[in-house]
Amino acid sequence: MKRAAISRVVAAAVSAGMLLAGEARSQSIPASPPQQQDKSLYLGTPVTQPEDLSGVWEAADGHGGAVGIHLILDTTAPVDATTLVGSNQSWLGLQVGLYRRTGAELQPSEETFFSDSPRGGSVRYEQGHLMLRTQGYDLDLRRTPGDTWWGRFHREDFDAVVTLVRPALQSASNESPSVEPWFVGTWKSSSGPTTTCLHIAQSSSATFIAWADTLLAWGSTSFPPQAVKPPYSWEHYGDLVKVEMAGKGGISVELGAYSGICCPHRFHATSFDRGQEMKADWAAGPNQAPHKSRWIKMPAGTCVPLE
């Protein structure tokens, strides 16, 4: 198993248990993550826009594939908050996946993960500067205008200065919006205290890349008077999601598909209200009961606007 893969497996197992708990109707959400023995170097730092530091950025590798970074950010929020809008979130930990994909779809075996903790590789992120130094892997990337990263990317036999770009979450052309699939963009679905935010981007004419955020806003009324409250709500940003076309204009969405542990959850979605909503049909499976849900398209690529 590659360096830092163990911490990645543990995190994937935990996040798979959390992912879409309200939607799947078969998982219980832990009140807080397990006690961390290897803490982030930035634990407790305020986070104002967590969605801006999670998900995927990539660049062509010159050989028909792409190199990129996949960021997974965990934060905490006050357990009494009934909404994350305007709530103070604090840094819990950052995982950084360096990948080089050879095909149109990113495969789990093509990623190598590190984290911002001493045992996880001591990734550094300071004032828009993302850094990693370890054998066979180096990052020296700076955040640049236009939601890009610029600098050195070294993963095994690839070592170059690159500009990493976020896959488009919306059409680059306002003149022909009909070319854009209706489902490209950011979607929100809520069940109880859990909100799932789904970001779907188009990486090629027939291929899509997506990631999801699992967000909790408990509120003090969620707990009976005698219950012991957790110290905070746990917010999880940037898990990869599989999205495929599924006939008659519909799509197949599989959350937890890349965790490598267990429990993916799949639904079939169709457009509603001229693409501003989608209706999801969750079929019976080994880890989910059949049910339906509704997703709302969100403006500006966020489910948690600042105000």
How confident is the model at residue 258, as a pLDDT? 84
Rounded CA gap, 213 and 201, in Å?
Answer: 15
Rounded CA gap, 307 and 287, in Å?
Answer: 36
Q: What is the mean pLDDT of the chain?
A: 84
303 φ/ψ sector (left φ>0, alpha ψ -120 to 50, else beta)? alpha
* CA distances from residue 87 to 46, 83, 96, 196 in whole angstroms, order as listed: 11, 7, 25, 17
74 token code pair: 């965990």
**pLDDT confidence tier of residue 264, bands split at 50, 70 and 90:** confident
70 token code pair: 């996949």
pLDDT (tens digit, 9 = 90+) per residue, 17-44?
333 333 332 233 344 454 456 899 999 9
pTM of the full structure = 0.85
Amino acid occupying residue 281 = D
**pLDDT confidence tier of residue 170, bands split at 50, 70 and 90:** low
What percentage of the chain exceeds 90 in pLDDT?
63
What stretch of H or E contains 58? strand 55-60
SS3 21: helix
**Which residues, in sequence order, are CB contacts of 128 under 8 Å at separation 6+?**
142, 143
Rounded CA gap, 16 and 8, in Å?
Answer: 12
How confident is the model at residue 263, as a pLDDT? 77
Q: What is the DSSP letter of 7?
A: H
